[in-house]
Amino acid sequence: MSKTKLILVGGFLAAGKTTMLNAIAGRLTGRGYTVGLITNDQAADLVDTAILTCTGVEVREVSGSCFCCNFPGFMKSVQSLIDAGCDLIVSEPVGSCTDLSATILQPVKDQFPDLDLAPLTVLVDPVRLKEALELVPCLTHPDALYIVKRQLEEADRILLNKADTLSPAQIEEELALLKEHFDAPAAAVSALKGTAVDAWLDDILSGGSAGAHIAEVDYDRYAHGEAVLGWLNAAIDLSGAADTDWNAFAEALLAKLRDSFRADRAEIGHVKLSLTCGDRVVLGNVGAIGAPVNMRGDSGVKGASAVMTLNARVQMPPEALQKAVEATLPETAASFGVAAAIRNLKCLMPGRPNPTYRYQTVV
Ligand SMILES: Nc1nc2c(ncn2[C@@H]2O[C@H](COP(=O)(O)OP(=O)(O)OP(=O)(O)O)[C@@H](O)[C@H]2O)c(=O)[nH]1
Ligand SMILES: [Mg+2]
């Protein structure tokens, strides 16, 4: 019997991990694999799980802790997907996590030799790369950018994502920067358009060592890089008139949240929502205070009630983040004649990473 393949797709917040998992689920099914996906977050109510469930493949969620700090929980999800018949599993670690080679890949190689681990792929956003290399001014905290650099250092493969937003000359420039600063082979892709995604899959599915590098990580800086981010997950029940325009509501809420964070000069890691009305789903997100709101999913979604999941990772204390959401939500709701009832809300500052395992050497 052939081994189950396990692929980890890392990268900082909003780098495009979930978009990539969404893009490859169908491609891998088309290649004959039975695919399973795993999402991960510090708290429950995940927009990513809602997005990936739409792919139709099996999805598991590890929430309440990152994979590295809950290795048994991660492996339980892997086993559950194997039990469900999956022979290829793709997992997305939390975007603010690094040191995955030491805390996930080495333990998997050591303790689960029956898994065929693919090279660790790390996605990077072109703007974030320039921020991390201090080539552009930014509001992102240097310790958050420290995490971005460690992610790229430990990668077996780097994907410069969102290549569709760059000119050929800009792609060349960014690939040259990656080559100059990091060891792993890098390629430009667009998870959104599917460009160069099959070539990357061909590469990582054909073998190659996984977890070949362990980065030197200063856990004080790493912990601080995570702690500068407030982290909010909420489930919210919405009700209004029978013809409430939920696409417009979602877009207005995200724009208002972004504007409120911009006024506070609190850089956004990622703010995203999914809104379900009957069997239709509205998706939206914003990845920086200077960025436009992106809307995806179904259009023309109207109805009397909806359920919304909201995830926000913003560079501000959790109390301030919660206050901003609790002020913005009723304002937007009122302007649409909507009643918003928060059913579940968790707002936290990620705790110091405390991995289950941290291997010092490559297995
Ligand atoms: N133009 C463009 N946008 C992309 C691409 N890939 C992802 N995006 C956009 O980037 C934003 C973030 O994408 P996600 O896939 O949610 O990013 P993520 O890394 O999973 O984010 P977290 O789970 O919050 O860490 C979304 O608006 C995506 O549509 C791409 O190849 N091109
Ligand atoms: Mg994601």
Q: Is the minimum distance from the CB of 49 to ligand 1 under 6 angstroms?
A: no
Q: Which two tokens stand for residue 328?
A: 């913005």
Q: What separation in angstroms does the CA of 122 have from each of 129, 264, 352, 357?
A: 12, 31, 22, 21
Q: What is the CATH number of domain 229-348?
A: 3.30.70
User: DSSP letters of 65-101?
Assistant: S-TGGGHHHHHHHHHHHHHTT-SEEEE---TT---HI
Over range 171-188, report the average pLDDT. 98
18 lines ligand 1 (CB under 6 A): yes
Q: Please classify residue 334 by burial: count the beta carbons closer than 10 Å to its beta carbon, then call 0-12 exposed, 13-18 middle and 19+ buried.
A: exposed
Only one residue has tokens 């504007």, namely: 259
Establish whether residue 48 lines the binding site of ligand 1, counting it when its CB lies within 6 angstroms of any ligand atom. yes
The H-or-E segment that residue 55 falls in is none
Q: Provide the 3-class DSSP secondary structure of residue 226.
A: helix
**pLDDT by residue (tens digit) across 256-309?**
999 999 999 999 999 999 999 999 999 999 999 999 999 999 999 999 999 999
Domain 4-226 has CATH 3.90.1300.10: no
CA gap 63, 349 in Å, rounded = 15
Say how many Å lie between the CA of residue 157 and the centre of ligand 2: 18
Mean local confidence (pLDDT), 34-62: 94
Residue 270 CA, closest ligand 1 atom number: 24
- Rounded-to-integer distance, Cα 246 and Cα 179, Å: 44
pLDDT band at 44 (very low <50, low <70, confident <90, very high): confident
What secondary structure does DSSP assign to 176-221, as a single string?
HHHHHH--S-EEE-BTTTTBTHHHHHHHHHT---SS-------HHH
Q: For the chain, what are the domain ranges?
A: 4-226, 229-348
Q: What is the pTM of this model?
A: 0.96
pLDDT tens digits for range 112-145: 999 999 999 999 999 999 999 999 999 999 999 9
Amino acid identity of residue 359, one-letter, is: Y
pLDDT, tens digit, 9 for 90 and up, residues 341-363: 999 999 999 999 999 999 999 99
Average pLDDT for residues 330-340, to the nearest whole number?
97
Per-residue tokens: 192:
């959104």
Strands 35-41 and 58-63: parallel
**Whether pLDDT at 1 is above 80:** no
